[in-house]
Amino acid sequence: MAVRSAKEKSLNDVATTEIQREINICPPDIGNVMTSDGVMARPFMVGEVTAPFKTNVVIKGYVDFYGGYGNHCREIVLRLGENPKYNVKLDPIKSPVDIHPALYSKMNWYANNMAFKKSDSTALIIAGPGHMRKGFYPEYCKRTIGWTMIETLEVMPEIANWLKNMDLILCPTMTDMRRFRTAGLNNLAMCRIGYNQNEYHEKVAPVDIANLRGRYVFGVAGSWNYRKSVEEIVQAYCMAFTANDPVSLLLVCKYGNRPWGPNKEDKSKWGIRVELQAILDKLTDNKDDLPHICVLDVPMHPEIVPHVYSRFDCLVGFSKGESTWLPGLEIGAMGKPIIQLENEACGYMDYLLGTRYMCKKVKYKECGPELYEGTSEYYEGQKMGFGDTLELSEMMKRVYSERGTGVQVMERKYITDRVKEYTWENSVKTLCEYI
């Protein structure tokens, strides 16, 4: 065995001491967190055992699923955690199933942050309005900030009463702020939700999907549920085109093949493909004349999503109720035309109002059980906007007919310019003014 020099022995002992110190304050698998694989390319700053002169912030929200608010909460945890002014604790984490394992490790580290001090701390609640009630956030915090939104035309009185208990409500859109102010709330401030401009931009390479080659793609992104009007979009698309048209409707559900609706307990009756087939069966007896439809119903890691979105030629939405609508920001930043419903119950009006492909026929009706049962009970008794399927069909044909024209080039640039301020950097910069 080679004899180590005194210098080598000293250096090795120091290194061992440093490694042991990290293990004492971090999870045992910290080495996995520090890799540069995929979403872990961003360096992970290991916190100190003590955090003097830092603002202690406990963040509560759902970070373990693919939804817009899950993505929102993860970004805020990471970006505030990297800021030397803040000492961040995350609570709770329910399950590692729905996000990249390495990203889950990062979230888990913040959930077990030993440097966090309860005294003199601030609670930041990033979630839908149903979680703004007392009991969801810690009582030990000196201040409570809710970053939330609303998806109905008005604010449910019970929700308004919960929000009054908070020190500050951060609104992601002016539409949300108007709805909260009308409900009698004054503890309001604007703080937009952002997109990652390093991942969503016009130069992102599209993923090659073989059965979409040569086709103009109308893309639908997000969850498969009644509020998103997926059935109406499928109906409108099948009204606008036939099997002879070189088009496709690409349905992307980032949640994967999840159960929705009353048949979710019977696995032979639920599933995106099953529900899509049921929609198509109601449209026509001549199945050979239906235009092409493609479904992506598997969970996708966040680094894959921009390349899938880049394959869209046009994003189609027809939301009954919405706030920021993250796909609109992300795909708008990629320079794609967007179809949506001009709906006062939707926060995307902040950046899409006045764009070329907005459907204007909308009726505001009270939500039925298909909207509130099993999803968001606070919808009950509230109104959302319902669009006209025929108008949506005509809008799809209009977008397709204007493809490649100067007017559509101008429209795409107009949307890109409108969303360019909605970045995570700007979101966190504004947030830090209020914490």
Per-residue pLDDT tens over the stretch 133-145:
877 788 889 999 9
Provide the sign of the torsion angle of the four alpha carbons 339, 343, 348, 350, taken in this order: positive
Q: From 123, 311, 109, select the one nearest 217 (Cα to Cα).
A: 311
The per-residue pLDDT for 37 is 42
pLDDT at 319: 96
Least confident of 15-24, 87-96, 256-265: 15-24
Q: What is the mean pLDDT of residues 253-282?
A: 67
The predicted-structure confidence for 193-204, as pLDDT tens digits, reads as follows 999 999 999 999
- Decide which of 199 and 1 is more confident: 199
- Please tell me which residue, 259 or 419, carries the higher pLDDT value: 419
Whether 219 and 309 have beta carbons less than 8 Å apart is answered as yes
Average pLDDT for 389-407: 97
- 286-289: Cβ within 8 A, 24+ apart: 288/243, 289/242, 289/243
Q: Which fold has domain 210-419?
A: Rossmann fold (3.40.50)
- Tell whether the model's pLDDT for residue 20 goes beyond 80: no
Buried b (16+ CB within 10 A) or exposed e, 132-156: beeebbeeebeebbbbbbbbbbbbb
Give the integer Cα–Cα distance in Å for 187 and 144: 11
**What average pLDDT does this structure show over 255-278?**
63
Residue-level pLDDT at 96: 56
Comparison of pLDDT for 242 and 50, the residue scoring more: 242
Closest CA relative to residue 116, chosen from 29, 19, 25: 25
**Residue 238 scores a pLDDT above 60:** yes
| CA nearest to 309, candidates 289, 286, 334 | 334
Domain ranges of the chain: 43-194+424-432, 210-419
Buried b (16+ CB within 10 A) or exposed e, 357-366: bbbeebebee
More confident residue, 411 or 265: 411
pLDDT of amino acid 22: 33
In 3D, which of 429, 424, 431 has the Cα closest to residue 71?
A: 424
pTM for the predicted model, two decimal places: 0.84
Q: How confident is residue 271, by pLDDT bands cut at 50, 70 and 90?
A: confident
Two tokens at 7?
């210098």
Task: Say whether pLDDT at 7 is over 60.
Answer: no
- CATH ID of 43-194+424-432, from 3.40.1000.10, 3.40.50.970, 3.40.50.11930, 3.30.70.3190: 3.40.50.11930
3-state secondary structure 189-256: EECCCCECCCCCCCCCCCCCCHHHCCCEEEEEECCCCHHHCHHHHHHHHHHHCCCCCCEEEEEECCCC
pLDDT category at 114 given cuts 50, 70, 90 is: confident
High-pLDDT (> 70) share of the chain, %: 82
Torsions phi, psi of 78, nearest 5?
A: -65, -45
144 token code pair: 């409570």
What is the rounded average pLDDT for all residues in the chain?
83
Phi, psi of 79 (to 5 degrees): -75, -40
pLDDT of residue 197: 93
pLDDT band of 303, cuts 50, 70, 90? confident
Q: In this prediction, what percent of the chain has a pLDDT beyond 90?
A: 57
Is 90 exceeded by the pLDDT of residue 279?
Answer: no
210-419: same fold as 43-194+424-432?
yes
